[in-house]
Chains A and B, each alone.
Chain A
Amino acid sequence: MAEPSIFFSEVNERQGAFHRRAFLLGGLVGTGLAALGGRLAYLQLVETNRYAKLSSSNQFNFRLVPPPRGVITDRHGVVLATNRPNFRLLVSREDGAEPEAILNSLSEFVAFDPSRKARLIRDLENAPKHTPVSIMDDLTWEEFSAINIRAPELQGVTADMGEVRVYPHGGAFAHVIGYVAKVNKADLTPTGPNSEPILLHPGFRIGRQGLEKSLDLDLRGRPGGQKVEVDARGRQVRQTSDGDIAAIPGKTVQLTLDADIQTRALEVFGQESGAAVMMDCRSGDILCLVSAPSFDANGFVRGMTGPQYQALAEYDHKPLFNKALTATYPPGSTFKTMVALAALEYGIDPQATHVCNGAWAWGGRVWHCDKHHGVVDMHSAISTSCDIYFYQVSLMLGPDRIAEVARKFGLGEVFDIGIPGQKPGLVPDQAYKRRVFKKDPVWHPGETPSMGIGQGYTNVNALQLCVMAARLANGQKALHPRLIEAIGGVAQPAGSAVSDLNVDHRHLDFVRSAMAAVTTTGTAAATAQLGLGDLKMAGKTGTAQSHSYGGGRGVHGTQGAWALRDHAWFVAFAPLDNPRYALSVLVEHGGFGGDSAAPKAREIMRVALMKDPELRAQIEHPTPMPDIPPEAVAEGSAPPEPTPIGPEGPIP
């Protein structure tokens, strides 16, 4: 049992000291371990709830999900603006990742041209860290899936599916609906709806023009939240469907427009510049509101390159400009309907005649007419658009009486149809001269003849002339135009729920019959034939000087530089006997109203009439001629049409 050991006292002293101190060391280490255990108990048992919360707030992020923007439809539900899925490539700047290197590695999958690449690098460098920047939209499915698979290796790169605004009709509705675009710094406000964080989301678009702008808050909807599991770099690891907050889509907006009429209206303008507005003259609904030429609003959603935008902005036909609302022109001879009404209301005898031999000397000037109309009364003066007659009648009336009637018919008024930026134009009177011309506040008699033929200070827009035509056709109500039928299913006030027009209906009948003569024997007889059997269109041509002809009477500018030619107008309503549709057509620098505007009005009107189910039935099955007795049908001819048995037909 004897184990070898050392028995020097010196050594035993060292051993004893070591044993005591090693024991102490063991105690110290034990105490240290116990302290760690205590700390663990504190963190893991006492404070665990707090840290569990911190842990899950690390692990889960709520990502804002942009709401689907509200759909815009026409009156029949045809979609004019909607959203389509968009596979998008996002890159965020992470630590130590050079934007250029990222883009280089991405060019394996998608093509960048050098200028675009340079711009993206700049965007990325300017963007805050970890904030995704949209690099490319509209990836194909192949590109999207290829990048998505490789995304974990590509630092800061994500491919996701968002939605993008799409205007399926291209340019036809561009001026009415406008477009959405990326949010600018100028759009952001410190308070209010434009302060919400969703505006910073790369997929969010804000209404920039037209109804997209004015109804932005209705169309916007409410953003949702998506619970995603993220790693320490903020990169999405997994999606968890529980705990998501669904986005509330924007409201659907239904317009009173008819997609077929609108599309046809833009089509008939071809390369020409102008505007066309059509209203239902029973309800006031705007069926078409076109400005030509137009542009593809989808380009603005995607974001245009500099040259693309420049081409649009610098073209002299001004495609970006809404000529139906934000431009005013002299109404020309279309204004004669108003002068005639004013004369009738004033008590001037429509049978009274004037002689037109092409020129009329008055007030030290020679006033011209474009033809020798001979002896004209009011009816023929309207149908043949004799200027001499209206020079003289307007002088009898004076500006204030004409202006009163013109304003009653909506000229010079801004109608709130939901599109901002309309120009009111001007219907001048003596008060206007007093108010505006401080140095010469008197209405000179020589200014009245110009007003009598819709020139001078008189300026209107296409919508106002359409309202004028609609009120003439309606005869009863001071119709208001309505563009927005319903927002989110809530109907907007109808344009017919307005006060009466208070114009003698015999006077209106007179003007309407004169307008009918315009298309049968008058200035538009050759160009305003609908070719729809019994359905006839009434109208009034107008040819408005776009600039002063200079000294003396020049020719109507149908030749020469495009920008110097006259503006052509045509206002119309149809059918003649029971008007349903009113229309105004402007052809900028189009020359004569009858030659240039009337054929376009005819084509647009035809679409409207043929789409109307009742009228269509009338065209397809014309009511039998009453003066042909049934027995006069020749032997062997087709048997007469059987009488249709309607709901109220005779019971056999």
Chain B
Amino acid sequence: MSMTALSSAGERDRLIVKLGELDRLFCLALILIAGIGALMMFSIAGSNWEPWAGSHLTKFTLFFFMMIALAMIDVRYWFAMAYPIYGVGLALLIAVAVVGDVRLGARRWLDLGPLGSFQPSEIMKLGLVLALGRFYHGISAERARFSWWLLIPALIIGAPVLLVARQPDLGTAILLALTGLTVVCLAGLSWRVILAGIIALLVSVPPVIMFVLHDYQRDRIFTFLKPESDPSGSGYHILQSKIALGSGGLLGKGYGLGSQSQLNFLPEKQTDFIFATLAEEFGFVGCMVVLFLYGTVIFLALRTAALAHSHFGRLSSAGVTATFALYVLINGAMVMGLAPVVGVPMPLLSYGGTVMLTVMIGFGLVQSVKVHRYSEVTSGTGALL
């Protein structure tokens, strides 16, 4: 199939061509990460597929094909659905604030009866990126730099962030805020505003910590600053994680031989702290391989964003990438004792269907942008609907 053939009209709408346009290296990196995650889960379950490894692989396989299916959807449909998805997400966040289930002291879950329950903030991670992409698609670089128009993205970001922070779910709120701000910056926000924002943020951090945060959130931050002060209490997670990492050394203790994770010293070893399990059993080398895979995924996704012809495609896929990168960086920093313990998993490596679903839907959008990078997306309804 030559470039000439691809340039002919309608050729790019053929399914086989679209499948060929998928980023194969990107897919390979995703499979490797999820596979390594399953490998670790198999180890910490005592060489057992139950309860995590098998389920993890099954879900990943399902979501991987779902990602490919989503990638086949024209980017114009994504464009058309951007506001509706955001709207549904926002409505659910409001609903959860009113009727949500309280679990572990936080009102985050919405009970769907027989379908189980889910956290609407997950929908918002995608909805926010889509809505911002759609908004910036329609305004000029001048307005995106600095104008009254920016009140709209401020509202788009602010509403869900506040609702999620009120649940309270500080980790997700910060993630949403950072994702949204990243998109705003990518869209061309004035450097002066960015600089002023950073300074304002730094100044406002101490009072926010003292007066706005909940006790448990403040505890986590203080614990992070001085974990040794309370090794059996709230400093336990960080300390045990660092012990797991450090004792792994260059090559690790060997597969299935990590005493920290096998003997349950490591808390949440299959979810938030799976990276520490990996570090303990495979050492520095294993960690660098996984970080390299994550770097590959992020680089390929950003390249996809850069190659997109539509501004919506660029911004939304870059937003998804930013979310993913934030997951990786925050979780990595947390596991290594560089950030407070916030409930942010290592995407695809950690056990847990919700985040994997969110990430894979997001990557479905990224691959859709890749496959449909030449699509013309006009303003309004996206010219399709």
Instruction: Map CB proximity to A onto B61-80 as digits: 1 under 8 Å, 0 otherwise.
Output: 00000000000000000000
Q: Is the CB of A6 within 8 A of B309?
A: yes
Determine whether A14 belongs to the interface, using a CB cutoff of 8 Å to chain B.
Answer: yes
Determine whether B18 belongs to the interface, using a CB cutoff of 8 Å to chain A.
Answer: no
Contacts of A13-33 to chain B: CB distance below 8 A: 13-15, 17-19, 21-23, 25-26, 29-30, 32-33
- Total number of A-B contacts with CB less than 8 angstroms? 162
Give complex CA distance A447, B4 in Å: 142
Q: Is the CB of B283 within 8 A of A44?
A: yes
Instruction: Map CB proximity to A onto B260-298 as digits: 1 under 8 Å, 0 otherwise.
Output: 100111000000000000010001100110010011001
Q: Is the CB of A18 within 8 A of B265?
A: no
Q: Is the CB of B298 within 8 A of A230?
A: no
Q: Which 6 A-B pairs have the closest CB atoms?
A: A51-B246, A55-B247, A17-B188, A231-B263, A232-B264, A59-B259
Determine whether B336 belongs to the interface, using a CB cutoff of 8 Å to chain A.
Answer: yes
- Knowing A4-B309, A36-B329 are in contact, say whether A44-B295 is a contact too (CB < 8 A): no
B50 → chain A closest CB, angstroms: 16
B320 → chain A closest CB, angstroms: 12
Q: Which residues of A contact B260 (CB under 8 A)?
A: 55, 58-59
Determine whether B157 belongs to the interface, using a CB cutoff of 8 Å to chain A.
Answer: no
Across the interface, name the chain A residue whose C-beta is closest to B375.
A4
Give complex CA distance A11, B140 in Å: 8
Residues of B within 8 Å of A, CB-based: how many? 57
Across the interface, name the chain A residue whose C-beta is closest to B331.
A36
Q: Is the CB of A36 within 8 A of B244?
A: no
Give complex CA distance A635, B126 in Å: 131
SS class of chain A's interface: helix, strand, loop or mixed?
helix
Of the residues A3, A10, A48, contact of B247 by C-beta under 8 Å: A48
Residues of A within 8 Å of B, CB-based: how many? 48
Q: Is the CB of A18 within 8 A of B187?
A: yes
Give complex CA distance A15, B314 in Å: 9
Of the residues A33, A43, A229, A232, contact of B295 by C-beta under 8 Å: A33
A48 → chain B closest CB, angstroms: 4
Give complex CA distance A522, B7 in Å: 142
Determine whether B195 belongs to the interface, using a CB cutoff of 8 Å to chain A.
Answer: no
Across the interface, name the chain B residue whose C-beta is closest to A48.
B249
Contacts of B293-338 to chain A: CB distance below 8 A: 294-295, 298-299, 302, 305-306, 309, 311, 314-315, 318, 321-322, 325, 328-329, 332-333, 336-338
B251 → chain A closest CB, angstroms: 10
Determine whether B374 belongs to the interface, using a CB cutoff of 8 Å to chain A.
Answer: yes
Q: Is the CB of B248 within 8 A of A44?
A: yes
- Knowing A14-B141, A58-B259 are in contact, say whether A231-B247 is a contact too (CB < 8 A): no
Contacts of A621-652 to chain B: CB distance below 8 A: none
Determine whether B376 belongs to the interface, using a CB cutoff of 8 Å to chain A.
Answer: yes
Task: Write the residues of chain B forming the contact surface with A, with a CB cutoff of 8 angstroms.
Answer: 3-4, 7, 136, 140-141, 144, 182, 185-188, 240, 242-250, 259-260, 263-265, 279, 283-284, 287-288, 291, 294-295, 298-299, 302, 305-306, 309, 311, 314-315, 318, 321-322, 325, 328-329, 332-333, 336-338, 374, 376
Give complex CA distance A47, B3 in Å: 54
A491 → chain B closest CB, angstroms: 52
Q: Which residues of A contact B263 (CB under 8 A)?
A: 58-59, 229-232, 237
Across the interface, name the chain B residue whose C-beta is closest to A13.
B141
Give complex CA distance A632, B279 in Å: 108
Q: Is the CB of B325 within 8 A of A43?
A: no
Give complex CA distance A58, B315 in Å: 48
Across the interface, name the chain A residue whose C-beta is closest to B186.
A21
Q: Is the CB of A231 within 8 A of B306?
A: no
Q: Is the CB of B318 within 8 A of A25?
A: yes
Q: Is the CB of A52 within 8 A of B288?
A: no
Determine whether A37 belongs to the interface, using a CB cutoff of 8 Å to chain B.
Answer: yes
Across the interface, name the chain B residue whose C-beta is closest to A4.
B374
B184 → chain A closest CB, angstroms: 10
Give complex CA distance A56, B294 in Å: 31
Q: Which residues of A contact B294 (CB under 8 A)?
A: 33
